[in-house]
Structure formats: structure tokens, C-alpha cells
Structure 1
């Protein structure tokens, strides 16, 4: 099966060449354009999620042999969550080769976090089906290598840490306020402000409220720790 020049270039960015390119075609096909003869990537997404989970669990088990289950769990969640998968997808420009229906394309589907994350998991499954677990493991460990090295820091829940900081000093929980929302509906940017009872405050922005709240909590924690 012959694939497009765009998909050939994507294989180079991915660092894996398919012997069954139809698997890659399926992995990048969204349900908005699927048909009887062109299946979408949802089944591959289901499988890829499990493959990613096993690779990450094994990686964490090997990297820190003294970590307890309670330490490993938040690290695992940080590595497999949708935001992380979408970030990896952006790094290899997966959005550029997605096959989307017209309405999904017009609404900015190539940049949507959930869509990118699902497609990334589907690509992992496609590699697994094409080359086996060893090939999928090699791919994931390479694409996630920096994140695995930094996972202990990334797994820290900044909102929880900030709340614990406030409670330890007899203060009420931090207050989060949406200051603004900019951009189109398919690609919004939220600005969130956090305020402590003692008056300390900070602002951050991100493409989702959750990310913005985590970012602003981390920013305020950094400010407090520097005092």
C-alpha cells in the first residue's frame, strides 16, 4: 500500500517505518471522516492506551526500584494522562497528518487536545500491531524519555501542594478566579488568578482551566518558596 508524502514525512518524525502502512492510515483517521471502507482510529486508541500504560508502568518500576506504590501511582498518571499524550503528539506534529471531516477540520480539530491525545494512543497501537511490543516500547520510551526523567517533579500536584501550604499556616483554601478567556471556542486561552487569605497572588494562562489552575498554583508556590 502506497502512502502520501505527508505520511512518509511523519514516519520520519515518528522514527518508525510501517511494514503495514494501512495501520498508520487507520491510526490518523478520525471518526468524523470514517466510513465502511475507511475505519476510524477508536479501536486502536483503546489498545494504545493499554500499551502505553504497560510501557510506563514497566519504565517507572525499573527507573526507581525503591519507590512505593504510593509514589509510583501519581508519576504513572502524569505520564499517561491526555495532556501528556497531546504534548507528545504536538512535538511530532501529528496534527498535520490527521484525516478529519470538514466540520472537525473547520473547528480546529488538528489542535484539539483530546483529539491529539487519542490519535497519539492510536499511533502507539498501530506500531504495536505492526512491529510487536518491543517496537512499541522502544517508540514510547524514546518519545517520553525526557518526561520519564522529570516525572517526579511533573507528578507533583501543585494545587494540592498549595492548599497544604495554606492549611499548614491556618489559612483558608486558595481561591481560583477566571480573569479572562480569549481566542476562538475551539482554541481558548484561559487566564486564572489564585489568591491566598494572606494576600499573596499570582496569574497564569493555559489552553484549559485545569492546566491554568495547575500552572498558577505552581507559580505561586515558586514565589512563596523563594521568600
Structure 2
């Protein structure tokens, strides 16, 4: 396993990460493409396992903060949580702290702009959180998240948005297909019509709602979807 470069170690320390074991942080900053340029050498672990772990630590930390910070109902909490832990938010914070310059990429991936890719930056932000958790435990990782996410937590991300907009943002932030709405049933006379609308996202699930207009049924279906799957 490679060691951290002096520049990367200095950057991690300046960002607030306490570095003890080089290998954890090297892994957190190694993209899968890096191994393509090793010319027969043993492959080095990439960040995927730490990304998996960091995603859960981030979700728990932000959910805990939201629970303590307000008395909002579950749907509102889920809406804010989805916005605050989305790939787009993670990428924005990674970019703000200058993570791109320290990601270990293969030659082609770097030439293709991987160091400024929202997908890669978002993944690396989660893997850094995972490394922080492994090195220092949950309490330190949680406080690091609160510090890095301070402006996001104090902002308007995920607040009071129309459920359809919130669902679309959730899908984009979680790299899912866009929501699809369909009228499952229309019943009753014209002056008292009832619409049953289903919203679905491929490989996630579906939710239905009934209302006196198609638009209201879509809104309620999106809200139900977020409450069940968000």
C-alpha cells in the first residue's frame, strides 16, 4: 500500500482529519481506475468499501442532527435528510475543501475530468467520512460532519419544497431514474371525479394516492413515495 504524499497529509490535517494510519486514507482517496495504470503490480484497494461505510455514518449523523434540531414530522425530516446527504451535496462539499487534487485516478480518468466529477467527488467525500470513522470512531466522525456540513445544515436544503420537486431531487441525488407518474384509475362523475395516480422509480418502488384532481393525486403520491422509500 502506498503512503500519503506530504501534500495530501498536510491537506487532510488542515481540513480537520486526524491521520494515524496512512493506508486507510490512501484507500479513501483511490478511485478504481487507479489500478489500471499499475502495469501488473498488485491492485490497491479503492474507496468503495469506505464509501459504503461513510454513507451510513453520514446518514445517521445528519438524521440525528435533524431530529434534535426540529419537531418536524417524518416526511419533512426525510425530505431534508435526502437533500443533505445527496451525492450533489457531498460533491459540493468535497469540491469546497479541495478534495479533487488529492484523488488517485488512472491516467484516462484524470484526463476525462474525473477529479471534478460530481459522482467521484461525492463518493470520495463519503469515503473520507468512512476513513474518519475507522480511524477515530463515531463521535469524531459525527463532529467532523457537522463542521463540514455547517452551512448546509443551516441552509434551506430540502425545506418546504413541493413533493414532486423533492422527489425529483431525491432521484437525482441518489442516481436513480426520474419519477414516472401514471393515472391508474379515474372514477366518479365529472363534477366529483376521483383520480388514482401511481408514481414509480425503476428499481426502487411505487406509491399511489387518490385525490379529486390529477395534480393533487400526483403530489400526494410523491409525498407517499418519499415517506416510504426516502
TM-score under structure 2 length normalisation: 0.65
2:131 matched to 1:126? yes
Distance 1:37 1:104 in 2: 17
2:69 matched to 1:63? yes
2:13 matched to 1:12? yes
3-state DSSP of counterpart to 2:89: helix
Contact persistence 1:13–1:92 (CA under 8 A): no
Match of 1:78 in 2: 83
Match 2:103 to one of 98, 107, 111: 98
RMSD: 1.8
Runs of 5+ consecutive residues of structure 2 not aligned to the other structure: 36-40, 166-230
Contact persistence 1:78–1:154 (CA under 8 A): yes
3-state DSSP of counterpart to 1:75: helix
Whose Rg is larger? 2
Cα deviation per residue 1:176-210 (whole Å; 9 max; x = unaligned)? Answer: xxxxxxxxxxxxxxxxxxxxxxxxxxxxxxxxxxx
3-state DSSP of counterpart to 1:103: helix
Match of 1:135 in 2: 140
Cα deviation per residue 1:17-46 (whole Å; 9 max; x = unaligned)? Answer: 211121111000000013745110111111
Which stretches of structure 1, 4 residues or longer, exceed 6 Å deviation after superposition? Answer: none
Runs of 5+ consecutive residues of structure 1 not aligned to the other structure: 162-227
Contact persistence 2:31–2:104 (CA under 8 A): yes
Distance 2:67 2:106 in 1: 41
3-state DSSP of counterpart to 1:154: coil
Cα deviation per residue 1:114-143 (whole Å; 9 max; x = unaligned)? Answer: 000001100000000000001110110100
Distance 2:126 2:31 in 1: 13
Aligned residues: 158
- 1:61–1:36 distance in 2 versus 1, CA, 3 Å: farther
Match of 2:29 in 1: 28
Distance 1:36 1:47 in 2: 24
- 1:83–1:158 distance in 2 versus 1, CA, 3 Å: farther
Distance 1:97 1:60 in 2: 31
TM-score under structure 1 length normalisation: 0.66
